[in-house]
Structure 1
Amino acid sequence: MKMWTVLLLVCAMTTLTYGAAVPEVELVGEEGGPSIQEAAPEEEPDEMAGGFVPASTALNSTSAHRSVYPTNLKEDLDEMAGGLFIQEAALEEESDEMPDGPSIHESNRLMSRGFPFCPSGWSRHNGRCFIYISSPMTWAQAERHCQDLGGNLASVHSHVEYVFVQNMISRITQGFQFAWIGGSDAVEEGTWFWSDGTPFTFAHWDAGQPDNQANSDCMLMNFGDAKKFDDQPCDFEKPFVCAMNM
């Protein structure tokens, strides 16, 4: 009897709490032992009284949130990755449109770390950077200036390279101006070397040169009608060409 009373109280509390009808209760006699069988409602009401949400609905809603969240996260990550790809492509395109490159000091730092481009104002050819300096200097002053820029007076190792340097000068000066380059035989007359230490294997002397006139121990380019090498006194002041490795 006490058990039935407790069960009836539970049903009453459930009705008051959830605002739903009291389910049918089937009582079983003592032979089968007391039990309660709740009859499930045939269909759910359209509106939940008192704001009650069935457990199955809540679970379904939670599952939906759990399934949507990873999908949204993946979409956000994909969108971020796409944005980064677009930014990277834009930076690459911008760098292609900047042939002058960074400053000389920044370029020297980057080139020492393996970045293959030339500083602003320099021209690239065959793994080296070249620049024409229009301020006249003696050969020794020009060599020191090139060293301050990270290179030496230019060495020339082929006819193709010589034509490249000529064309660089021509674009700047609208002509084939005289210019010091890195050849010298000041150490031993008749034995020419490049100031950057590379082998002297290319000779492009003008006719009758070198003649060592007035102790001419330093190399000038664009000499004579043929615009070739000439030896000149090293204390003459001329424009010059610097070169440095990339």
Structure 2
Amino acid sequence: MVLHLALALVFALFVGSSHQKNSTLERSCNPPFTTIGGHCLYIDPLTQGSWSEMRTYCQSQGGDLVILYTAQLFADIVYYIEAQGWPIANYWVGGSDEGHEGIWAWHDGTLMRMGTPLWATGGCDNIQRPDGSTGENCAVMSAIYHLYINDLDCSSTAVHPICEGPSV
């Protein structure tokens, strides 16, 4: 697990993005959000539901499911979950290919980066991209893949939300 996070952090140093936010900035967040990696996030370890239910839940809190634009944000979230002492579980993030099979995008329409450093290695050929076909259309930080992203059936309900809200 530590090796995976170390690789993600090293990769984050080399990956630039027009959407990248400065993770060193301390932001002021409205409750229930807290600053994690310079973003206002709310990870609810008690609430579970389908992808659409958890997206609605995040919106009711004043945010939306998190978009992982950088490996650094991904690593910051993993560190936060571990620091809380929470058991490894599944967490919904804001990506899916429900609108067009095989075209993975964040809920804001931005295409999701496939492969390293965010996607789990799975399947017989160890691919680092979704392989669930039409039955698995939503992105999850997966417990069985050490919190790397995997595709999962959107109606799965044993999944917690990671919400992102605006800074104040």
TM-score normalised by L of structure 1: 0.48
Equivalent residue number for residue 171 of structure 1? 83
- 1:156 alignment partner, SS class: coil
**1:77-226 counterparts in 2 under 5 A?**
116-125=27-36, 127-134=38-45, 135-201=47-113, 203=115, 204-208=118-122, 209-212=129-132, 215-226=135-146
CA contact (8 A) 1:132 1:168 kept: no
Q: How many residues align?
A: 131
Aligned equivalents of 1:172, 1:121: Cα separation in 2: 15
Structure 2 segments unaligned to the other structure (5+ residues): 1-26, 123-128
CA contact (8 A) 2:101 2:133 kept: no
Structure 1 runs, 4 residues or longer, greater than 3 Å off: 196-199
Please report how far the alpha carbon of residue 227 of structure 1 lies from its aligned counterpart in structure 2 after TM superposition: 2.9
Aligned equivalents of 2:36, 2:110: Cα separation in 1: 16
Aligned equivalents of 1:184, 1:154: Cα separation in 2: 12
Aligned equivalents of 1:213, 1:173: Cα separation in 2: 34
TM-score normalised by L of structure 2: 0.68
Aligned equivalents of 1:159, 1:202: Cα separation in 2: 12
* Pair 146,176 (structure 1): closer, same or farther in 2 beyond 3 Å: same
Higher helix share: 1
Higher relative contact order (CA 8 A, sep 6+): 2
